């Protein structure tokens, strides 16, 4: 293994799971990192099938994450980082185990269940000088990064209003009384033991919250939230109003029962000079409005975007679509560069540091708690 290459392991993400495979493919975009170890599933058959599929050596297929952290930490060629892609309830324990064995962590969101847990993980990572990234993957899209740069360069003027929606429809059957009990048993996101205090706000609302902070750099001063549960234990549809430290209001609508919406993460940002509109389902396009001018369609990979530093994240020429894999891959490109430089005792560049960290994970946990508390108490809460 050259000094410009890394190895990683994975917990969760068997061949039938959803997001683990997106991580593996995204990491594979830039050939600097190899999957060499894993505890891929609680189902032993799926664990072995996944290990076979990825040609994992017999001595690096682990029965569980504890055995994996312990054994890897003792190897001369131990993994450089672990990717944790299990359901929410296990993130805290698994992350902590790897940190305590001095292994860098990339964990799925939401980071964990409580602020105490989030602060504890953050402290361990800091004390041991370990990287801890949390996968808010949508900030990896090139056009999201360009939007952030345009806002920072004041191309929209002073921001007046921000609207973000994240709407899906795959939990619509929870609203049907003949199917809802069965859904509640079958889907871990609806079970408080696996999902925590929230379903939709934790599952997708944290992406909206992370996206608004990434784009604007603003901090939340106070918020008020209403949620609908439709007879389930946890929230399925929520409206959030945020007031930022500088007075800006942000509206967030989160729903998993919005018929016709697949993975509808969208933002609309309005300022005194211009506006930006973006839709995750058409991620290469950013609509830019200026007063008294027709709305412009900015397309990733176009020469006219080269003036933005963030355009360096683009991999294909305009008209050749990029998607979720590339968005995750952009975050991983920075994470991997950061780790290679850290290993070589080199200073990472600002661009290498452009990935979501445990600080974002901690903010996400706080957001879910404040939002659920506001909805329960039916009032504005200071942040």
Q: Which residues bind ligand NAD (CB under 6 A)?
A: 11-14, 17-20, 39, 41-43, 65, 85-88, 90, 108-109, 135, 137, 203
**Nearest distance from C-beta of residue 272 to ligand NAD, angstroms:** 33
Q: Which CB atom, from 88 or from 277, has the smaller least distance to ligand NAD?
A: 88
Q: Which CB atom, from 202 or from 274, has the smaller least distance to ligand NAD?
A: 202
Omega before 321 within 30 of 0, i.e. cis: no
Residue whose structure tokens are 């750099």: 217
CB 50 within 8 A of CB 42: no
Q: Which CB atom, from 11 or from 269, has the smaller least distance to ligand NAD?
A: 11
**Nearest distance from C-beta of residue 357 to ligand NAD, angstroms:** 14
**Nearest distance from C-beta of residue 275 to ligand NAD, angstroms:** 26
Q: Which CB atom, from 25 or from 342, has the smaller least distance to ligand NAD?
A: 25
Q: Which CB atom, from 29 or from 383, has the smaller least distance to ligand NAD?
A: 29
**Nearest distance from C-beta of residue 237 to ligand NAD, angstroms:** 18
Q: Which CB atom, from 61 or from 109, has the smaller least distance to ligand NAD?
A: 109
**Nearest distance from C-beta of residue 255 to ligand NAD, angstroms:** 16
**Nearest distance from C-beta of residue 312 to ligand NAD, angstroms:** 23
Q: Which two tokens stand for residue 326?
A: 């590339």
CB 371 within 8 A of CB 379: no
CA dihedral 195, 196, 200, 204 (to 10 degrees): -80
Q: Which residues contact 4 (CB under 8 A, 6 or more apart)?
A: 32, 340
CB 329 within 8 A of CB 30: yes
Q: Which CB atom, from 20 or from 283, has the smaller least distance to ligand NAD?
A: 20
Please name which of 68, 163, 127, 72 lies closest in space to residue 358, comparing C-alpha atoms: 127
**Nearest distance from C-beta of residue 102 to ligand NAD, angstroms:** 20
CA pair distance 130, 124, nearest whole angstrom: 8
CB 365 within 8 A of CB 111: yes
Please name which of 227, 229, 273, 232 lies closest in space to residue 252, comparing C-alpha atoms: 227
Please name which of 270, 288, 252 lies closest in space to residue 158, comparing C-alpha atoms: 270
């Amino acid at each position: 293994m050259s000094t410009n290459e890394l190895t990683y392991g994975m917990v969760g993400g068997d061949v039938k799971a959803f997001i683990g495979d997106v991580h593996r493919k995204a990491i594979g975009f830039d050939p600097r990192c190899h999957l060499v170890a894993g505890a891929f599933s609680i189902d032993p058959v799926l664990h072995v099938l996944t290990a076979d599929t990825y040609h994992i050596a017999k001595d690096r297929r682990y029965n569980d994450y504890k055995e994996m952290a312990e054994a890897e930490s003792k190897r001369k060629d131990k993994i450089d980082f672990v990717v944790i892609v299990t359901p929410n309830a296990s993130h805290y324990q698994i992350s902590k185990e790897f940190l305590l064995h001095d292994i860098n962590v990339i964990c799925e969101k939401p980071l964990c269940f409580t602020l105490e847990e989030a602060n504890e993980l953050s402290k361990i990572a800091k004390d041991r000088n370990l990287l801890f990234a949390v996968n808010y993957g949508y900030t990896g899209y090139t056009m999201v990064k360009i939007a952030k740069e345009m806002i920072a360069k004041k191309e929209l003027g002073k921001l007046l209003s921000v609207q973000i929606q994240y709407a899906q429809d795959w939990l619509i059957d929870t609203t049907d009384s003949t199917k809802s009990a069965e859904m509640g048993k079958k889907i871990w996101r609806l079970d408080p033991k696996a999902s925590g205090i929230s379903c939709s706000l934790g599952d997708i609302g944290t992406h909206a919250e992370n996206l608004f902070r990434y784009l604007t750099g603003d901090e939340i001063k106070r918020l008020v939230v209403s949620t609908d549960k439709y007879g389930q234990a946890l929230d399925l549809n929520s409206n959030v109003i945020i007031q930022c430290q500088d007075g800006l209001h942000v509206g967030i609508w989160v729903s998993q029962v919005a018929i016709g919406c697949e993975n509808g993460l969208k933002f609309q940002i309005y300022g005194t000079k211009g506006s930006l509109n973006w839709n995750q389902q058409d991620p290469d396009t950013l609509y830019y409005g200026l007063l008294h001018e027709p709305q412009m369609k900015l397309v990733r990979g176009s020469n006219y975007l080269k003036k933005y530093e963030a355009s360096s994240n683009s991999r294909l020429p305009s008209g050749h679509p990029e998607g979720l894999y590339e968005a995750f891959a952009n975050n991983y490109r920075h994470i991997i560069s950061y780790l290679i430089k850290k290993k070589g005792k080199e200073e990472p560049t600002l661009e290498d540091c452009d990935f979501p960290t445990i600080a974002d994970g901690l903010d996400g946990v706080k957001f879910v708690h404040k939002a659920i508390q506001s909805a329960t108490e039916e009032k504005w809460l200071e942040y």
